Amino acid sequence: MTPEPFGARLRHAMDTRGPLCVGIDPHASLLGSWGLNDDVAGLERFTRTVVEALADRVAVLKPQSAFFERFGSRGVAVLEKAVEEARAAGALVLMDAKRGDIGSTMGAYAATYLDKDSPLFSDAVTVSPYLGFGSLRPALDAAEVSGAGVFVLALTSNPEGAEVQRATSADGRSLAQLMLDHMAAENAGATPLGSVGAVVGATLGDTGADLSINGPLLAPGIGAQGATPADLPRVFGAAVRNVVPSVSRGVLRHGPDVSGLREAAGRFADEVRTAVPES
């Protein structure tokens, strides 16, 4: 049986749960603010609390793999369990791994996150295209087979990104626009939404780019980084309905109480609904 594409599943989740994505970013400072030790036990308590609080109500949970990997195999085991439990509760899991390589190595990354038999199989994964968009082919192909998604870095919010992403390609387009055009080609004809998304920072203001890729636009930077849901229409223009606003510390700092996390996520979701038209 052909799996339902990620783009269709994401559109349904956004329409029923709201478009909010909440990151699971267990910084040492956040663990400390929750009264937890910066160790595997603290990591596990933090992660389980976030999943318990939010996995049954937000559209997407986005664990940042680096904060689990820093604890070695025991941290990765916590991540595997979080992915399993979050998906079982109905959230789509976007693994924020930002992988990028070539050939068989990219294929191994794809197998790690996009093969249904992998313990880290996720609904989608973030990848970097700056070894050339074609280097992503193993991930794109694996995602299509499993009904998963791929979010490709396009215009990131860090100031250093501009020296690469806004550089001019041989045909005069910025490199970011070249990547966005590749994404649009991958999503051509997909309904209701393609499964290849772009990562575009919500803090960028006028991006100067054509964001009509017929796919989702992950928008980090809401909350602690300074962007608000009210900024989304200005940044994303006509593509705003396909935006998945991502907030991490703005929600996570309200833990460890489950009710505090839920109330904070609910406030952000309501602000997004107010700012973004439904159609």
Which helix H or strand E contains 263, and what residues bound it?
A: helix 258-275
In this predicted model, which residue has the larger pLDDT, 62 or 278?
62
- Whole-angstrom CA distances from 230 to 4, 160, 243 are 32, 25, 13
Cα end-to-end span (Å), the chain:
32
- Whole-angstrom CA distances from 135 to 18, 103, 128, 131, 140 are 33, 7, 9, 6, 10
Residues catalogued as catalytic: 98
Place of tokens 């919010």: 157
pLDDT of residue 197 exceeding 90: yes
Of the candidate ranges 12-16, 62-66, 219-223, the one whose mean pLDDT is the lowest: 219-223
* 8 Å CB contact between 23 and 246: yes
On average, the pLDDT of the chain sits at: 96
pLDDT band at 279 (very low <50, low <70, confident <90, very high): low
pLDDT given at position 227: 87
18 HSE (CA, 13 A, CB side):
24
Q: pLDDT per residue over 104-152, tens digit each?
A: 999 999 999 999 999 999 999 999 999 999 999 999 999 999 999 999 9
pLDDT of residue 157 exceeding 80: yes
Give the pLDDT mean for 206-214.
94
Print burial letters for 73-93: b (CB count within 10 Å at least 16), e (below 16). Answer: eebeebbeebbebbbeeebbb
* 8 Å CB contact between 162 and 184: no
Q: Strand, coil or helix: what is 121?
A: coil
Give the E-state strand segments of 169-267 in sequence order: 196-200, 217-222, 243-247
